[in-house]
Amino acid sequence: MSAAPVAAAPPAILVLGDSLSAGYGIDPRQGWVALLQQRLAREGFAHRVVNASVSGDTTRAGLARLPRALDQHRPAIVVIELGGNDGLRGLPLAEVRTNLTGAITLAQKQRAQVLLVGMRLPSNYGTSHTQAFHALYADLGRKLQIPVVPFFLEGVAADPALMQADGIHPNAVAQPKLLATVWPYLAPLLTSETLIR
């Protein structure tokens, strides 16, 4: 007598981020990552979302945490939202590039698709530095052949009504807009085979 087939686990989307994805200052259930899980269900995707974001994380810290997260969750997709803390702390761009490259290649070696989420620095960090920081994301996307969200806080960072009092973190009202910014780049990575029938 043959055993009944075991249902395959739903594919995982691993979000490796910092406070912007961890839901700093708001109820995490209102954060864009939680809203992503809701949207996937609404649109018929079976994916489960794993939020591996930690407030304050730099690219170095995220890279250090990634191998364990990959082993534990075996994600089909990895969303990397890191770099903002590196930029605000003035860490060398070469280090940011190296760490992000390492994280992307680690995920790719596990056969995961990768989405990189781009960030910008405030203008007071100097024009040349802020431009170089932002360009780093698109450059990595081209070289490693992955999609890149141009700027995660597009339409949010400059609107005080969408930001917390610290002027750094989006508030709960902004979270659907963050998801709307990410979704067009994430949606093509979701395969039709995982649609709920």
Catalytic residue (choose from 47, 73, 134, 169)? 169
- Using left for φ > 0, alpha for ψ between -120 and 50, and beta otherwise, residue 46 falls in alpha
Residue 53 annotated as catalytic: no
Residue 129 annotated as catalytic: no
Catalytic residue (choose from 2, 123, 128, 166)? 166
Catalytic residue (choose from 19, 47, 57, 86)? 19
Task: Give the DSSP letter string of 41-104.
Answer: HHTTB--EEEE---TT--HHHHHHHHHHHHHHH--SEEEEE--HHHHHTT--HHHHHHHHHHHH
As given in the structure block, the two tokens for residue 55 are 């407030």
- Contact at 8 Å (CB) between 21 and 53? yes
- What residues act catalytically? 19, 166, 169
